[in-house]
Structure formats: structure tokens, C-alpha cells
Amino acid sequence: GAGVSQSPSNKVTEKGKDVELRCDPISGHTALYWYRQSLGQGLEFLIYFQGNSAPDKSGLPSDRFSAERTGGSVSTLTIQRTQQEDSAVYLCASSLELAGGFWTDTQYFGPGTRLTVL
């Protein structure tokens, strides 16, 4: 079946501009995550949506970063007034998370959006 998709695959922008990155999770997956991967680094958690619960925004690095998830499916990560240090690959993942489940469910990743801020 279709996996997690992200668009655009690459985005080049100028410092100070706003950008929007899109994630389409696997159909039926209730949980959605955004991560950031800087060059040669591990994955840094940004934000987590689970069903209708309030999102966990504890990983967002500044108030320039925000994300929303409409209709429990597609998510958009917005970075306002981009800075050069925002340059990274932004990865989205989704999982089939059962409400009240004890075990963490497998996360499936999209191909990422490579953001370059000039």
C-alpha cells in the first residue's frame, strides 16, 4: 500500500521567508510525527499528533515553528521567518496508535523534505 508521502521533496528559500511543508500519512494511521535531521545528525523530535488529542509540541525549537493536522490526516509544518540554521531535512512519520495503548507502535517514515535557507 501507499506509504507516507511528503512534499515538496526539496525547498530552497531565502532567509526571512515563510515555508510550508506537507505530510500525507498512511491511510488509517492516527498518530503523526515531525522530526528534523540536520546534516550528519540523528533525528530530532519536533511535534506529535495523536487522534483528537492536543498535540505534543515539546520539541519545537522556537515559536517560528508550528504545525497543524487537518481532519486527522494531512499535516502541515510551517516555519516563519526562516533562518539559515533551519536548513535540514524535515521528516514525517505516522503510526497506527491505539488509544490508551501501552506499547509504542511502529513509526513509518516518509522520504523527507530537504530545506535549504540561503
Partner 1 sequence: GENVEQHPSTLSVQEGDSAVIKCTYSDSASNYFPWYKQELGKGPQLIIDIRSNVGEKKDQRIAVTLNKTAKHFSLHITETQPEDSAVYFCAASIGNQGGKLIFGQGTELSVKP
- Residue placing its CB nearer to partner 1 in the complex, 78 or 106: 106
Helix (H, G, I), strand (E, B) or coil at 41: coil
Helix (H, G, I), strand (E, B) or coil at 19: strand
Q: Does 14 bind partner 1 (CB under 8 A)?
A: no
Q: Does 42 bind partner 1 (CB under 8 A)?
A: yes
Contacts with partner 1, 77-116, as mask; x by CB under 8 A? --------------x---x-x----xxxxxxxxxxx----
Q: Does 33 bind partner 1 (CB under 8 A)?
A: yes
Is 76 in contact with 92 (CB distance < 8 Å)?
no
In this structure, the number of other CB atoms found within 10 A of the CB of residue 64 comes to 14
Is 18 in contact with 82 (CB distance < 8 Å)?
yes
Please tell me the distance from the alpha carbon of residue 83 to that of residue 62, in angstroms, as a whole number: 11
Identify the residue among 50, 66, 80, 87 touching partner 1 (CB under 8 A): 50
Q: β-pairing, 10-13 with 113-117?
A: parallel
> In the complex, what is the shortest distance from the CB of residue 7 to partner 1, in angstroms, rounded to a whole number?
13
Residues of this chain that bind partner 1 (CB under 8 A): 4, 31, 33, 35, 40-45, 48, 50, 56, 91, 95, 97, 102-112
